Structure 1
Amino acid sequence: MIRALLVRGLLLGLLAGVVAGGFAFAVGERYVDRAVALEKAPAAHEDGGGHDHGDGAVVSRPVQKAGLFLATGLYGLAIGGVFALVFAGLRGRVGPRTDGGLALAAAGTAFVAIVLVPFLKYPANPPAVGDPETINGRTVLYVIMVLVGLASVAVAVGTARRVTGGPWGRWLSGGGAFLVPVVAAWLLLPGVDEVPAGFPASLLWEFRLSSLGTQLVFWAAFGVLFGYACDRAARRLPVAVPSAR
């Protein structure tokens, strides 16, 4: 069973990654192009801090655009495999009783924990935003927020399962248990603000929305596809009929 779930997760993760890549290509690439154009402008190189992502880059923009689908596909492949293994561990233990419901709930929870929580603290930045010398530090902070999101979900689920006050009591206690470590991390971890003066606020906002939208499309597509495939597989399993005596 685990092998079937793993294969299903890998294939559907790959498919969802391609779908998300299509969204990123249709919606997000225009904002990357505009940011690259600003980065290549003379003003961006006055202090020697510009970084060429255009024709003179090691990987040109046309190749980057073509590789977008490869990147999102590989991302989906990896996420799909990990998700399938986690799903196998959760199945029958927590969450909705149906496989489809559990898949949707798990995908939505994963989106909140590993995408939305770190995004709200450290949102994505387009080219020309961010100091290359701080990239390691920013990466560590982002990973910390991902871990905080995952730990908060685990704490919330554990808390909700111990409450015996009905669904409303479980939801409120679980939500509170989730927010406490998340808010604490937001307040305690340092902020990162490396947007250069004069960078268009509208472009920054649109790029970040498209980046978040790409993740939302991936997780929504993957959750629906994986849940549908699991429900369909469950319906095809033979049902044991008690013998007459």
Structure 2
Amino acid sequence: MNPISPRLLLVRGMLAGLFAGAAAFLVAYVLGESKVDAAIALEEAASAGHDHAEEGPVSRALQATAGLGTGTLLYGVAFGGIAALVFCYALGRIGRFGPRATAALVAGGLFVTLNLVPFLKYPSNPPAVGDPDTVVTRTTLFVLMIALSVLLGVGALILGRRLAPGMGNWNASVVASLAFVAAVGIAYAFLPAVNEVPEDFPATLIWQFRLATLGIQTAMWTTFGLAFGFLAERALVPAAAPKEAVQLTS
């Protein structure tokens, strides 16, 4: 395997992130936008008879297409670069895994710590759900949950590495995973809950919106893991087979 070049892998990570952002956009447009439109329609129906807010400078149609596409692509490229740097550190340090397996593990770990764990505590809500006066508090709690999840994930990784020489890789990984789950459960118990869903808001719409949100992140990190694993392997593993074939025929 070739020496790791962070710059080389950073570019490939951002390229894979671009593919991941495109996949996230497709899922968001197909599954998520209809739920957003339905929530906006409910909000408008509930505000009938009251003063209507003027439409912003960007139309809803533009938000759902060009705005959504630009946002998801930039999001994918940014996190693709971050994930590539994490890959540079992880390769060879979390076990004897090749580039593809390491990329899959990095993508899975980032999905769990950055998206799944915070989502299970503070799930996303469609428009018209949530008190505008508590948006700062809710955002702070969500960011805090992300930070705690990342720190606990790093701690679980360190614990697994320290236990591996005496327990073996598999047993150490199981213990570290259980410790991570237990620590996350404690964080869930101590952090305040947020439930501002109106009683008359359709539960089915909320459930579908949250599944769509989780599906967007799943599509993004799955696409990134597959694409970056392929690109990283092409960059790091020399093409030895053609050279060997030439030597055998000479």
Give the TM-score, by structure 2 length: 0.88
Distance 2:107 2:215 in 1: 15
What is the letter of the counterpart of residue 81 of structure 2? G
Distance 2:36 2:229 in 1: 33
1:24 to 15, 24, 28: 28
What is the letter of the counterpart of residue 133 of structure 2? E
Aligned residues: 236
1:9 aligned partner:
13
1:93 aligned partner:
93
1:229 aligned partner:
231
1:132 aligned partner:
132
Tell me, yes or no, if the aligned pair for 1:152 and 1:179 is still in contact at 8 Å.
no
Stretches of structure 2 lacking an aligned partner (at least 5 in a row):
245-250
Distance 1:197 1:31 in 2: 18
Percent identity over the alignment is 44
Larger relative contact order, structure 1 or 2 (CA cutoff 8 Å, min sep 6): 2
Distance 1:226 1:47 in 2: 51
What is the letter of the counterpart of residue 140 of structure 2? V
Q: Compute the displacement of 1:88 (Å).
A: 1.0
2:209 to 181, 184, 207: 207
Q: Compute the displacement of 1:172 (Å).
A: 2.5
Q: Compute the displacement of 1:160 (Å).
A: 1.2
Stretches of structure 1 lacking an aligned partner (at least 5 in a row):
none
Compared CA separation, residues 234 and 60, structure 1 to 2 (3 A): same
Q: Deviations over 1:188-233 (max 9, x none)?
A: 0101111112000000000000000000000000000000111222
Tell me, yes or no, if the aligned pair for 1:95 and 1:105 is still in contact at 8 Å.
no
What is the letter of the counterpart of residue 124 of structure 1? S
Secondary structure at the residue paired with 1:14?
helix
What is the letter of the counterpart of residue 65 of structure 1? A
What is the letter of the counterpart of residue 220 of structure 1? T
Secondary structure at the residue paired with 1:195?
coil
Tell me, yes or no, if the aligned pair for 1:9 and 1:83 is still in contact at 8 Å.
yes
Q: Compute the displacement of 1:31 (Å).
A: 0.5
Q: Deviations over 1:15-63 (max 9, x none)?
A: 210111011101111101100100111x246787x8x6xx823422101
Secondary structure at the residue paired with 1:114?
helix
What is the letter of the counterpart of residue 228 of structure 1? F
Q: Deviations over 1:144-183 (max 9, x none)?
A: 1111111111111111112222344212311122123211
Compared CA separation, residues 98 and 140, structure 1 to 2 (3 A): same
Compared CA separation, residues 30 and 173, structure 1 to 2 (3 A): same
1:61 aligned partner:
60
Distance 1:219 1:86 in 2: 14
Tell me, yes or no, if the aligned pair for 1:18 and 1:69 is still in contact at 8 Å.
yes
1:36 to 32, 40, 43: 40
Distance 2:35 2:57 in 1: 20
Distance 1:81 1:101 in 2: 18
Distance 2:146 2:86 in 1: 16
Distance 1:59 1:123 in 2: 27
